[in-house]
Structure 1
Amino acid sequence: MHHMTSHIFLALGMWDDVVAANEAALGIVKQKMQARNQAASPVGCGHPITWLAYGYLQQGRFADARRLVENCGEEVRKNRPERATGADLLDYDTTSAGSFSAMRTRYLVDSGDWSGLVTDLEVNVAGIVAAEFTRDFADAYGAVRHGRIDTAVKAVKRANDSGQRFIAAAIAAGVPAESPMRRVPMIERDQLNGLLLVRRGKTAGGLALLAKAAAAEKEIPMEFGPPSLDKPANELLGEVLLEHGRAHDARAAFEAAQVLAPGRGQSLIGLWACARVLKDSELAQSADARLAKVGLREALAGKTK
């Protein structure tokens, strides 16, 4: 019951309520487990934990989110390799490896902590196609945004290859072509390839691919949960446009991102930055008021841990 209410809270960008609901849900799970076995280890992976980690990230509580990622990774290392089959291989909620990979990716992308311990956590997710693809996307995204170009080229190829394996597995499992599960890998492929073109100085072609990804994101049905894409496409388009001095176009992309993920801090920060460039005091005050409710902006600036 507690977790289910967080679906509504998340859709409204009510991050304190998202966190409180999932902390309460996990507290009940812990009580039930300890009632059966006092020595039972806390649950480290799973659906409410991935939501709690996302809530912590949106609050700017990076250390708490990192702790959850590390705990889930430890659970995967301790347990026997999972034997998921069919559609279970495609859903991060159905395996601990999938849960870990999703939380690791979300942590890295949303915190920007690419030089920390989470990047190098050694957890075997082999054989779980969703976990492999999500891991490879994170590694490629980090490389193309922050790493050496030669490293980025190799990482993007690995992500494209694992994305193709994911799509093949989805087709084999009977997932329809219009399902977000089939669409997301193709959108994320365009994101990575677009970013790589921008890194290579082919800005027009890169922005065209990023715009294509952003348009495709708008066609995915809205989910009452964390964004379907590991890096929301309209948000990414806005960031790259702003980096290239196109604040007016970036504003439109960030506004679209807010429609798809209301209250998400990263796109609010983008709107706030656009407002400062465009000297739009009304927009700046609106974004600033919403950002002031949580510590994300300060955490990203390195003012809090």
Structure 2
Amino acid sequence: MKTLCILFRGWCCLFLLVFMGCAGSNKAPEEAVISAMNLKQGKTILCGPADKELGAVSFETSCSEKVRKEFDLALALLHSFEYDEAEKAFAAVINKEPTCAMAYWGVAMSNFHPLWSPPSKEEFEKGSKAVAIAQSITGKTKREAAYIAAIAEFYKDPQQTSHPARCVNFEKAMAQLYKAYPDDKDAAAFYALALDGAADPADKTYAKQRKAGQILTLLGGDQSFHPGVIHYIIHSYDYPSLAAMALPAARKYAAVAPSSAHAQHMPSHIFIRLGLWDESIHSNMVAADAARCYAASAGIKGHWDEELHCLDYLVYSYLQKADNKDAKEQCDYLKTIREIYPVTPKVIYSFAAIPARYVLENRLWMEAMALQPQVISGIVWEKYPWEKAIIHFTKLLGAVHLNQMDTAYAEFKTLNQLHDMLVQKQDAYKANQVQIQLKASAAWIAFREGKSSAALQLMKEAATLEETTPKPPVTPGEVVPARELLGDLLMAMNAPGDALEAYEINLQDHPNRFNALYNAGLAAEKSNNLAKAGRYYQQLLDVSDTPEADRPELTAAKAFLKRNKTLAMEYQPVTGLLSP
């Protein structure tokens, strides 16, 4: 009888293990634990087609069928970097099924954003809590456990490891996941993203980015309708020497995920790299409209930060087409903005860069010298030394060109102070950005002081430093490329041959830039290379083929071509680069 009782108890436990879980396994996390994450909640807000078109995603989980649709929506949002909405969508899954471990993984991923700035303290804590809950839930598949273990590598040991080191840890874990599940499209896509996020900015071979691109190509590349695949191709090749490889994906991504504001904007990264101004303008007009729609739908007081990012790209593109009318309209609109949510570094960058671009591109030196930081609610400019440095660099260039040297010296002193602040913060990357400005500033000051040799050496150092430093992701490009400033300095020194070389090198990384094209033509003309001057001037006119184009340089280019009607005008229309 005793043996029968033991057997009976054993069968009962086996029954509970299979159907209910034995000893409380797969028990839902306590409500207080879930509440402590302080998840974003509410209806998913998208501005685009009514049926929420975000690409083709289908992810197998051990969660019930009742949350499958919501999970795939959340994952699609995550792949398009719609992080706030992705978190809300994963929270909706948790509300329906608190034992869905992968929903907590999704929350952790939504607060990671590997290609943007590091998570805030609050975001990191939320992600860490989500990982802990995901790990505590039993009944996960081996594959799900591997996904959760991978993101846990990013969130562990925050006091002992830096953000870049944690990104590398995540990359290594995703490599193992990708190896274990080679047929998992999302594992491959997230591994490619991890490679991009862990890439060394100083590696000019772009080894990890190229590897990411190869993985994504195996998944269908630009023929895919998976939002992660098509999106991450753009990020993997968002570099001057690689950008052309991402052009097909850039021209498709907005159509793959039309309900994502980021999907409307992101292609313009490649359009900017290749000097395709019309496509960049269209992309950012649509994206800015989507951002305004999102702000209104979400009840944001003021403007959503993504709108400011789009405006910077939009103004930059207008200026390269000599469309001062539309560029100034956006600058004037910027002046009306007083509140932004959330306040992020890319917002501050836009407030500094947009007006700086307008005055510097148009050589409005008096306006450049008078530039001041815009007053915006809740923003203390002193907290953003690099962004503030852009304004002082602009003021310095204005003062130097007007020969107001006392003002130039004062601005140079301020730039040094801002650089020191970044060094003290151990923000090496941004300190390096200001160091480029300091060298360029010192070069122009030295030139005004009659120290041409020192000026030339400093300007070359600035150009070399900038070209070995990757473009920050918050910007379409430097307010003025250092190599272009070197060309300007050489023109001021009456060395047009050397200036032409500088402009041509600059155009390799910045094709179809208005001032680089015009000054390359002018330098070639002064060097008596009339055929090359004609090609650059014609290219300038073709780039500025809009009724709104209004710059005196266009008049000069037309006059030259009228005098020299037989010159050959050969160039490559895709990148704007001159034919060899």
Which TM-score band (shorter chain)? 0.7 to 0.9
Q: In the alignment, which residue of structure 1 is the partner of 2:278?
A: 16
Q: Which structure dedicates a bigger proportion of its chain to helix? A: 1
CA contact (8 A) 1:53 1:65 kept: yes
Q: 2:424 aligns with which of 139, 158, 168?
A: 168
Range with bigger deviation, 14-23 or 66-75: 66-75
Q: What secondary structure sits across from 2:480 in the alignment?
A: coil
Q: In the alignment, which residue of structure 1 is the partner of 2:414?
A: 158
Q: In the alignment, which residue of structure 2 is the partner of 1:79?
A: 339
Range with bigger deviation, 269-278 or 280-289: 280-289
CA contact (8 A) 2:273 2:511 kept: yes
Q: In the alignment, which residue of structure 2 is the partner of 1:214?
A: 463
CA contact (8 A) 1:237 1:253 kept: yes
How is 1:25-36 mapped onto 2 (pairs within 5 angstroms)? 25-35=287-297
Q: Deviations over 1:35-67 (max 9, x none)?
A: 566x98666852111111111111112232233
Q: 2:445 aligns with which of 169, 181, 196?
A: 196
Between the aligned partners of 2:498 and 2:383, the Cα distance in structure 1 is: 41
CA contact (8 A) 1:15 1:55 kept: yes
Does 2:476 correspond to 1:226?
yes
Q: 2:454 aligns with which of 205, 227, 230?
A: 205
CA contact (8 A) 1:6 1:17 kept: yes
Name the amino acid aligned to 2:335: G
Cα distance change of structure 1 residues 83 and 6 upon mapping to structure 2, 3 Å threshold: closer
How is 1:88-103 mapped onto 2 (pairs within 5 angstroms)? 91=345, 93=346, 95=347, 97-103=348-354
Cα distance change of structure 1 residues 256 and 55 upon mapping to structure 2, 3 Å threshold: same
Q: In the alignment, which residue of structure 2 is the partner of 1:274?
A: 523
Between the aligned partners of 1:209 and 1:117, the Cα distance in structure 2 is: 22
Q: In the alignment, which residue of structure 1 is the partner of 2:321?
A: 59
Q: 2:493 aligns with which of 238, 244, 251?
A: 244
Q: In the alignment, which residue of structure 2 is the partner of 1:114?
A: 365
Between the aligned partners of 1:123 and 1:286, the Cα distance in structure 2 is: 40
Q: In the alignment, which residue of structure 1 is the partner of 2:249?
A: none
Cα distance change of structure 1 residues 235 and 122 upon mapping to structure 2, 3 Å threshold: closer
Q: In the alignment, which residue of structure 2 is the partner of 1:131?
A: 387
Between the aligned partners of 2:388 and 2:373, the Cα distance in structure 1 is: 13
Between the aligned partners of 2:284 and 2:355, the Cα distance in structure 1 is: 18
Does 2:511 correspond to 1:285?
no
The alignment of Structure 1 onto Structure 2 pairs a total of residues equal to 283
Name the amino acid aligned to 1:201: G
Does 2:524 correspond to 1:264?
no
Q: What secondary structure sits across from 2:364 in the alignment?
A: coil
Between the aligned partners of 2:415 and 2:295, the Cα distance in structure 1 is: 38
Cα distance change of structure 1 residues 300 and 164 upon mapping to structure 2, 3 Å threshold: farther
Q: What secondary structure sits across from 2:366 in the alignment?
A: coil
Q: 1:143 aligns with which of 387, 391, 399?
A: 399
How far residue 8 of structure 1 moved from its aligned partner, in angstroms, is: 1.4
Q: Deviations over 1:43-97 (max 9, x none)?
A: 685211111111111111223223323333332xx338x996xxx6xx4x1x3x3
How far residue 161 of structure 1 moved from its aligned partner, in angstroms, is: 1.7
Does 2:351 correspond to 1:104?
no
CA contact (8 A) 1:140 1:159 kept: no
Q: What secondary structure sits across from 1:123 in the alignment?
A: coil
Between the aligned partners of 1:131 and 1:60, the Cα distance in structure 2 is: 25
CA contact (8 A) 2:321 2:544 kept: yes
Does 2:551 correspond to 1:299?
yes
CA contact (8 A) 1:272 1:288 kept: yes
Between the aligned partners of 1:4 and 1:74, the Cα distance in structure 2 is: 25
Name the amino acid aligned to 1:215: T
Between the aligned partners of 1:142 and 1:153, the Cα distance in structure 2 is: 12
CA contact (8 A) 2:369 2:399 kept: no
How far residue 241 of structure 1 moved from its aligned partner, in angstroms, is: 0.5
Name the amino acid aligned to 1:108: V
Q: What secondary structure sits across from 1:57 in the alignment?
A: helix
CA contact (8 A) 2:322 2:514 kept: no
Any stretches of 5+ residues in structure 1 without a counterpart?
A: none
Does 2:504 correspond to 1:255?
yes
How far residue 302 of structure 1 moved from its aligned partner, in angstroms, is: 9.1
Q: RCO higher in 1 or 2 (8 Å CA, sep ≥ 6)?
A: 1
| Identity level (%) | 23
Name the amino acid aligned to 1:157: K
Cα distance change of structure 1 residues 202 and 155 upon mapping to structure 2, 3 Å threshold: same
TM-score, scaled relative to structure 1: 0.81
Name the amino acid aligned to 2:551: A
How is 1:175-186 mapped onto 2 (pairs within 5 angstroms)? 175=427, 177=428, 179=429, 181-186=430-435
Any stretches of 5+ residues in structure 2 without a counterpart?
A: 1-262, 376-380, 556-580
Q: 1:70 aligns with which of 332, 347, 362?
A: 332
Between the aligned partners of 1:215 and 1:120, the Cα distance in structure 2 is: 28
How far residue 263 of structure 1 moved from its aligned partner, in angstroms, is: 1.5
CA contact (8 A) 1:133 1:166 kept: no
Between the aligned partners of 1:41 and 1:184, the Cα distance in structure 2 is: 30
Range with bigger deviation, 63-72 or 276-285: 63-72
Between the aligned partners of 2:553 and 2:304, the Cα distance in structure 1 is: 32
How far residue 113 of structure 1 moved from its aligned partner, in angstroms, is: 2.3
Between the aligned partners of 1:116 and 1:211, the Cα distance in structure 2 is: 27
CA contact (8 A) 1:13 1:263 kept: yes
Q: 1:50 aligns with which of 312, 318, 335?
A: 312
